[in-house]
């Protein structure tokens, strides 16, 4: 084995080589995208490959990304939008095997202006969408003590050897590990190892770059991998990936609840706007906009979940722009602010207090309008009504009041 002390490796200007030239047939056996390689199939709204590109390029120490694509992929430039701003990016067609594709990526890096002989190189499978920033940190730190650093997970199941239907004791699992990507290396050392294989053993099957380094006489250090850093290989892995995303989203969000209240006077007119729906009536609600008390209360409840003041803060009555405006615009604005803050609306509930008009026949129409304005399903929207038993202003039919609550999940600020 070679001396395990790494030459001075410049981990601050690392190059990430993302391998995405394979076909991935096993991963899409039960998907509808039979003509699409797995790395191009969408996962939660963006291609699987995009997750890896974003994570790697967003790391503070990654200065260059080389994307290795199938030779048939003609729109290589379209992937640049998933790469962090300021990071050098170029794409190259891959080879017939994983090893050849990695060599192509290394040679493209070495021939570029981004090449520095002391740079670290990260080699990553594009079908592993969940490599974390912490994992990359540990890998680059591992290069302080070795020419290569490999993420590993312990083998937890007992291993046996099988001959036909008969089992025999297998190897001691305490000495075994599974490995993942990205794998980190002293870049020039890895490049030279690949060139040596290409020149001397091109027919040899290597399943990862750590194997090539070992063949070339260089040992690699193992660092702790991550259970969520899965590789999408079979159809079931897609289900696992969706579950991981959902769990991560929930773990980073905290629940918030907002309360809203509004009241408007009834004056002679032809009908009232309530929760985005017009109801013919002998009176109308008096106000600067359409005076929809239900949606005004809901807007305040939504704004309250993210500390954004009240409806008057965003749509002051002194501004003629909003005179007669439809109140669903206010609700949509508040919902967009929540989404810009990284939040999502869980459910809303509006209670109207009025003797007349009767709300029941119009409830479904109200819910439909509110769900569309909020961008959520109708099952997450509730509208209810009650009278005030002929007491107070509502009981005397002088006005209509509304209470609203909104439940959202937003990123924690702690």
Q: Could you read off the pLDDT of 326-371 as tens digits, one per residue? A: 999 999 999 999 998 888 999 999 999 999 999 999 999 999 999 9
Q: What is the mean pLDDT of the chain?
A: 90
Task: Please report the pLDDT score of residue 36 as a whole number.
Answer: 66
Stretch(es) of the chain classified as CATH 3.90.550.10 = 10-233
Half-sphere exposure of 400 (CA within 13 A, CB side): 32
Residue 382: strand pairing partners: 349
pTM metric for this prediction = 0.63
- Residue 109 CB coordination number (10 Å): 24
Q: How confident is the model at residue 102 (pLDDT cuts 50, 70, 90)?
A: very high
Task: Please report the pLDDT score of residue 34 as a whole number.
Answer: 45
- Share above pLDDT 90 across residues of the chain, in percent, rounded to a whole number: 74
Q: Which helix (H) or strand (E) element contains residue 135?
A: helix 133-142
Alpha-carbon distances of 50 from 5, 42, 135, 257, 392, rounded to whole Å: 35, 9, 18, 34, 59
Q: Taking Cα atoms as reference points, which of 218, 404, 211, 376 lies closest to residue 294? A: 404
Q: Is-contact 286 262, C-beta < 8 A?
A: no
* Rounded Cα distance, 277 and 370, in Å: 9
Task: Please report the pLDDT score of residue 29 as a whole number.
Answer: 43
Task: Please report the pLDDT score of residue 382 as a whole number.
Answer: 97
Task: Please report the pLDDT score of residue 248 as a whole number.
Answer: 75
Q: Taking Cα atoms as reference points, which of 392, 414, 412 lies closest to residue 401? A: 392
Q: Is-contact 180 153, C-beta < 8 A?
A: yes
Instruction: Find the farthest-apart pair of alpha carbons in the chain and give their distance in angstroms, rounded.
Output: 95
Residue 162: strand pairing partners: 167
* Rounded Cα distance, 253 and 255, in Å: 7
**In the predicted model, what is the mean pLDDT of residues 92-110?**
95
Q: Which helix (H) or strand (E) element contains residue 66?
A: strand 62-69
Q: Taking Cα atoms as reference points, which of 235, 229, 238 lies closest to residue 55? A: 229
Q: Is-contact 406 257, C-beta < 8 A?
A: yes
Stretch(es) of the chain classified as CATH 3.30.1330.50 = 254-411
Task: Tell me which fold the domain 254-411 belongs to.
Answer: 60s Ribosomal Protein L30; Chain: A; (3.30.1330)
And the tokens for 197?
A: 């294989």
Sign of CA dihedral 21, 27, 33, 34: positive
Task: Please report the pLDDT score of residue 247 as a whole number.
Answer: 80
Name the class of domain 10-233: alpha beta
Residues 13-45 pLDDT 10s: 899 999 999 765 444 443 444 456 778 888 888
């Amino acid at each position: 084995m070679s001396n395990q002390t790494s030459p001075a490796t410049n981990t601050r200007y690392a190059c990430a080589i993302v391998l995405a030239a394979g076909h991935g047939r096993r991963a899409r056996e039960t998907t509808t995208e039979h003509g699409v390689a797995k790395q191009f199939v969408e996962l939660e709204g963006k291609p699987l490959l995009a997750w890896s590109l974003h994570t790697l390029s967003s790391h503070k120490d990654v200065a260059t990304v080389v994307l290795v694509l199938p030779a048939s992929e003609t729109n290589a430039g379209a992937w640049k939008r998933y790469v962090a701003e300021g990071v050098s990016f170029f794409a190259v067609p891959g080879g017939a095997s994983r090893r050849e594709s990695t060599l192509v990526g290394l040679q493209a890096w070495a021939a570029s202006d981004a090449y520095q002989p002391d740079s670290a190189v990260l080699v990553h499978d594009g079908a592993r969408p969940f490599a974390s920033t912490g994992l990359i940190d540990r890998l680059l730190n591992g290069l302080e003590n070795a020419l290569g650093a490999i993420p590993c997970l312990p083998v937890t199941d007992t291993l046996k050897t099988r001959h036909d239907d008969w089992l025999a004791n297998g190897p001691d699992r305490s000495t075994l590990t599974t490995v993942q990507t990205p794998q980190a290396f002293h870049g020039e050392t890895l490049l030279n190892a690949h060139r040596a294989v290409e020149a001397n053993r091109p027919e040899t099957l290597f399943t990862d770059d750590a194997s090539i380094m070992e063949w070339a006489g260089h040992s690699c250090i193992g660092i702790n991998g991550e259970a969520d850093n899965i590789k999408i290989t079979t159809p079931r892995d897609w289900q696992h990936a969706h579950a991981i995303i959902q769990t991560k989203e929930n773990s980073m969000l905290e629940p918030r609840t907002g309360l809203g209240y509004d009241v408007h006077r009834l004056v002679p007119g032809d009908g009232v706007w309530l929760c985005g729906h017009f109801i013919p009536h002998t009176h109308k609600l008096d106000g600067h906009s359409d005076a929809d008390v239900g949606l005004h209360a809901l807007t305040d409840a939504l704004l309250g979940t993210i500390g954004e003041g009240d409806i008057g803060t965003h749509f002051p009555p002194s501004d003629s722009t909003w005179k007669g405006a439809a109140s669903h615009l206010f609700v949509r604005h508040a919902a967009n602010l929540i989404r810009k803050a990284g939040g999502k609306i869980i459910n809303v509930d509006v209670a109207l207090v009025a003797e007349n008009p009767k709300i029941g026949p119009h409830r479904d129409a109200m819910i439909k309008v509110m769900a569309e304005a909020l961008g959520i399903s109708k099952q997450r929207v509730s509208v209810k009504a009650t009278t005030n038993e002929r007491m107070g202003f509502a009981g005397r039919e002088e006005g209509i009041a509304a209470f609203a609550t909104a439940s959202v999940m937003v990123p924690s600020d702690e």
